[in-house]
Amino acid sequence: MTEASFRTELDADGILSVVWDMPGRSMNVLTAEAIDELGRVADRVIADEAVKGVIVSSAKKAFSGGADLTMLEGIARLYATKKAEDGEKAAAKAVFDESRRLSQLYRRIETCGKPWAVVIHGVCLGGAFELALACHYRVASNDPSTRVGLPEVKVGLFPGAGGTTRISRIMPPQDALQMLMKGEQIRPDKARAMRLVDEVAPQAEIVERARAWLKTAPKAVKPWDEKGFKLPGGPVWSKAGFMTFPAANAIYRRETQDNYPAIRGMLQAAFDGLQLPMDLALTVESRHFAKVLRSPEAAAMIRTLFVSMQELNKGARRPKGVPEIRLAKVGVVGAGFMGAGVAYVSAQAGLDVVLVDRDQETADKGKEFARKLISDQVVKGRASGAERDALVGRITATPDYAALGECQLVIEAVFEDPKVKAEVIASVEDALGEDAIFASNTSTLPISGLAKASKRPENFVGIHFFSPVEKMQLVEVIVGDKTGDVALATALDYVRMIRKTPIVVRDRRGFFANRCVIAYLLEGHLLLTEGVPAAMIENVAKQAGMPVGPLSLNDEVALDLGLKILRATKKQFGPIAIPPAQEKLLTALVETEGRLGRKNGKGFYDYPEGGKKRLWPGLSALQEIKLDPETIDLTELRNRLLVTQALEASRTVEEGVITDVREADVGAILGFGFAPFTGGPLSFIDGMGAAAFLALARSLEAKHGLRFRPNALLTDLAESDETFYGRFASPTAAAAAEAA
């Protein structure tokens, strides 16, 4: 039997080998066509008496990343089409029927009466791992690349092909819910301990281990289909159940502020399903999944955090016609916190790194920082000692600029001073080859201005990392006035190598992310000066979907840096460019109170050694006005904190800083955590509708000032009844919309 995605071969023992190998793809994904093919394989297994058992494997480097979420986008769009044609009831049924096809197929595999084994090497995630869970035996390789997991919550969904229901029966509900809510990728040994896989073996042995199990003529019946099956954690209404589900609901609300329908639906599916027989439980899971799938939150998160992010990671913004740049050796100048982090992620990606600073001792400190980071991973079981030694061995620490001579790319991460950077540029270029690319990690200084110190401005580009480098996924690639295509392509290829997500921005003050962040911090400062209690500001920000409040975020950035930027803005554009109340607040905190933020243990918060941070009690003394919390409109507070960021994102599109709307939304979520459930600031505007957002912004402008004045582009979109994604659709999005 030959299919496009699955190759099958029956051996003399009656074991059918099913090899998943989608042509033209580097990784297998579950498309509608692949699901149909797997269904035909299942039909053959059931009907063919010669087939005694099945081994499912992958011919790719990894097993599978799961379902093609563009397929799920199509199912969600089906609702609108069907509703217009046949009404809401028919539309809801159509989505339900279509979205449960995979769940029904997996249940057919599970109950077909013949044993299925699956062998897993590399990542096996989402719908692919739900296939593995439906099989009767799972063997995983012990390779460092192997991971299993159900990460659907990270894109606004939950495991809806039986994953939620099966996990809730494999392990106690408190463990199951923790796994499902985190969406983590799990290493093989841990997966075995959690009963997610049955056996772990070297890659060369996994198929034979599965074959050996099949030759024992095992029963092809899952525990939950046998009479007398008892749930691992006891019934939902038991004492243990009462201790689990109310607490899980409280944790969900604390962590998400009830902004994520997928997690709520998953909790409900698990709770309801554990009270029902397996087939009914799967039906209930499918109903909740279908409802979540057609939610605006799921649509926004799938588009931004899967489709757009995947396109950007694959080089959507890479200049056409420039051959791939294969980097082997990079240089980093500046071995401080940022530079050491850049050296670490570069070495982690397999690159040789030359780390340069003013003297050997300082350079060595940067290398030692990288050693500490990888050593922490070893302690946590996420890396081996050999991997640590290899990574550290790839970093050469030196004060000698001549060591940069063979580097194809050099990134400077020195002090934010144009004179200091100009000196570094000159020293580096004296050592570099003609074709090497120079990048600045500046977060505030214009790239075009810095490039004036370069002999080769066409080879000069900005690569702006976020702190801490090893954790933050976003990188802004900044194009100066004279930056050439090769420099841009090199920067994008490098960011891809270190497994981060790039956005390309034009060279303007603050670039993209910092502009939006500064607007957010400003609003927090002004709310405080208006008399809003600090705790209320922070809590409402979290309720709005931000990961941390503006005051906490400012502590991380550093208050003295904020004051420095404020005064630089005042000097360049005049007093009218800054709010006096904000300057007064930061001056009092930094210069009078000596509160610089987390870096010196005191900012808006106190950071006691060994204890939890807490808001500084002295903040109330800095408030000349103190509002009664009962009189404060929480909805208005929430709107102010989100609208100010969305307006700034809209302005960056109008000014040409952002030239691809996907990058604004991806960049906002990855860079500063803009409420992920909205899909990003431009999706937030589109979801509300430009006219409604315009009216909201104008009402805030009338009450709170010009910073809420809508820009011309936003006004034009509202008047023409358009959206950002409608007017500025990427080629991929346009094709999808046309197909729909």
* pLDDT per position as a tens digit, 478-531: 999 999 999 999 999 999 999 999 999 999 888 999 999 999 999 999 999 999
Closest CA to 391 of 356, 350, 422: 350
DSSP secondary structure string for all residues of 139-152: EEE--TT-EEE--G
Confidence of residue 734 (pLDDT cuts 50, 70, 90): very low
Which residues does 387 contact at the CB level (< 8 Å), separation at least 6?
144, 374, 378
Q: How far apart are CA 213 and CA 207, in angstroms?
A: 10
Phi, psi (degrees; rounded to nearest 5) at 56: -100, 130
For the whole model, what pTM was predicted?
Answer: 0.92
Would you state the pLDDT for residue 622?
Answer: 95
Q: Tell me the residue length of the chain.
A: 740
* pLDDT per position as a tens digit, 226-275: 999 999 988 988 888 888 999 999 999 999 999 999 999 999 999 999 99
* pLDDT per position as a tens digit, 516-564: 999 999 999 999 999 999 999 999 999 999 999 999 999 998 999 899 8
Q: Which two tokens mark 302?
A: 């799938």
Q: Are the CB atoms for 532 and 638 separated by under 8 Å?
A: no
Does the pLDDT of residue 676 top 50, yes or no? yes
CA distances from residue 41 to 8, 109, 451 in whole angstroms, order as listed: 8, 10, 60
Q: How far apart are CA 194 and CA 631, in angstroms?
A: 50
User: CA 188, 193, 198 angle in degrees (round to 5)?
Assistant: 70
Would you state the pLDDT for residue 317?
Answer: 95
- Per-residue DSSP letter, 124: E
State the catalytic residue, choosing from 288, 464, 525, 704.
464
Q: Are the CB atoms for 251 and 169 separated by under 8 Å?
A: no
Active site residue 464: yes
Q: Are the CB atoms for 252 and 264 separated by under 8 Å?
A: yes
Q: Which two tokens mark 654?
A: 């109008």
Report CA torsion sign: 580, 583, 585, 588.
Answer: negative
Q: How many CB atoms lie within 10 A of CB 572?
A: 9
Q: Are the CB atoms for 241 and 173 separated by under 8 Å?
A: yes
Q: How far apart are CA 346 and CA 674, in angstroms?
A: 27
């030692």: which residue's tokens? Answer: 368
Would you state the pLDDT for residue 383?
Answer: 85
**Average of pLDDT values for 720-736?**
75
* pLDDT per position as a tens digit, 156-211: 999 999 999 999 999 999 999 999 999 999 999 999 999 999 999 999 999 999 99
Q: Among 45-54, 63-72, 319-328, 349-358, which stretch is predicted with the lowest mean pLDDT?
A: 63-72
* pLDDT per position as a tens digit, 606-633: 999 989 999 999 999 999 999 999 999 9
Q: How far apart are CA 479 and CA 488, in angstroms?
A: 7
Q: Are the CB atoms for 370 and 344 separated by under 8 Å?
A: yes
Q: How far apart are CA 135 and CA 117, in angstroms?
A: 6
H helices, E strands: number in the chain: 32, 19
Element housing 397 (H / E):
strand 395-398
* pLDDT per position as a tens digit, 285-342: 999 999 999 999 999 999 999 999 999 999 999 999 999 999 999 999 999 999 999 9
Q: Are the CB atoms for 8 and 18 separated by under 8 Å?
A: yes
Q: How far apart are CA 674 and CA 545, in angstroms?
A: 7
CA distances from residue 177 to 56, 168, 266, 269 in whole angstroms, order as listed: 28, 8, 9, 11
- Per-residue DSSP letter, 605: E
Q: Are the CB atoms for 435 and 406 separated by under 8 Å?
A: no
* pLDDT per position as a tens digit, 20-38: 999 999 999 999 999 999 9
Confidence of residue 565 (pLDDT cuts 50, 70, 90): confident
* pLDDT per position as a tens digit, 659-668: 999 999 999 9
What residue spans of 48-162 are helical by DSSP H? 69-86, 88-99, 101-110, 127-134
Would you state the pLDDT for residue 731?
Answer: 53
Phi, psi (degrees; rounded to nearest 5) at 488: -65, -45
Closest CA to 529 of 584, 578, 575: 584
């962040």: which residue's tokens? Answer: 517
Which residues does 114 contact at the CB level (< 8 Å), separation at least 6?
45, 46, 51, 52, 53, 54, 220
Q: Are the CB atoms for 438 and 410 separated by under 8 Å?
A: yes
Q: Which two tokens mark 561?
A: 């840096």
Quick one: three-class SS letters along 711-725? CHHHHHHHHCCCCHH
Rg for the chain, CA atoms, rounded: 28
- What is the C-alpha end-to-end distance of the chain, expressed in Å? 33
Does the pLDDT of residue 740 top 50, yes or no? no
Amino acid in position 651 = R
**Average of pLDDT values for 144-150?**
95
Amino acid in position 500 = K
Query: Strand pairing partners for 395?
Result: 353
* pLDDT per position as a tens digit, 712-724: 999 999 999 999 9
Q: How many CB atoms lie within 10 A of CB 426?
A: 13
User: CA 625, 626, 628 angle in degrees (round to 5)?
Assistant: 140
Quick one: three-class SS letters along 398-464? ECCHHHHCCCCEEEECCCCCHHHHHHHHHHHHHHCCCCCEEEECCCCCCHHHHHHHCCCHHHEEEEE
Work out the percent of the chain whose per-residue pLDDT is above 90.
Answer: 87
Q: How many CB atoms lie within 10 A of CB 737?
A: 12
Confidence of residue 730 (pLDDT cuts 50, 70, 90): low
Q: Where do the domains of the chain lie, and which CATH numbers do they carry?
A: 6-294 (3.90.226.10), 329-508 (3.40.50.720), 514-727 (1.10.1040.50)
Would you state the pLDDT for residue 73?
Answer: 82
Rounded mean pLDDT of the chain? Answer: 94
Would you state the pLDDT for residue 401?
Answer: 96
Would you state the pLDDT for residue 444?
Answer: 80
